[in-house]
Amino acid sequence: DGGITQSPKYLFRKEGQNVTLSCEQNLNHDAMYWYRQDPGQGLRLIYYSQIVNDFQKGDIAEGYSVSREKKESFPLTVTSAQKNPTAFYLCAIRGDNYGYTFGSGTRLTVV
């Protein structure tokens, strides 16, 4: 079953803790993206990767880190430096027609 998979669906983080959100795809696409969604602000780009072992900062990269060791995987780490991490996080891949396919998202909450 082809697609893009995000896990976990819900994630809780304690103050000062790093957490990692998973994004996996089996569609063999190069470009992958991480977006953050807050109420009333639409989606904002955190990081993106065009190819393995390469990634670039988006508009709100502070407090986040990523890696792209495999084509299939683009995990996002929310570090303790991110002061307001509670949000909905969406991973996406860019398809051949320039449209994005999104994962089902991860809801991160600070407790």
Secondary structure letter of residue 95 according to DSSP: -
Exactly one of 12, 17, 30, 109 binds other proteins (CB under 8 A); that residue is 30
CB 58 within 8 A of CB 64: no
Exactly one of 48, 55, 64, 74 binds other proteins (CB under 8 A); that residue is 48
CA count, 13 A, side-chain hemisphere, 9: 1
Exactly one of 53, 83, 96, 98 binds other proteins (CB under 8 A); that residue is 98
- Residue 2 or residue 16: which is nearer to other proteins going by CB? 2
Q: What's the Cα-to-Cα distance from 89 to each of 20, 66, 69, 77, rounded to whole Å? A: 11, 13, 20, 11
SS3 77: strand
- Residue 76 or residue 90: which is nearer to other proteins going by CB? 90
Binding site for other proteins (CB under 8 A): 30-31, 33, 35, 40-45, 48, 50-51, 56, 58, 88, 90, 92, 94, 97-102, 104-105
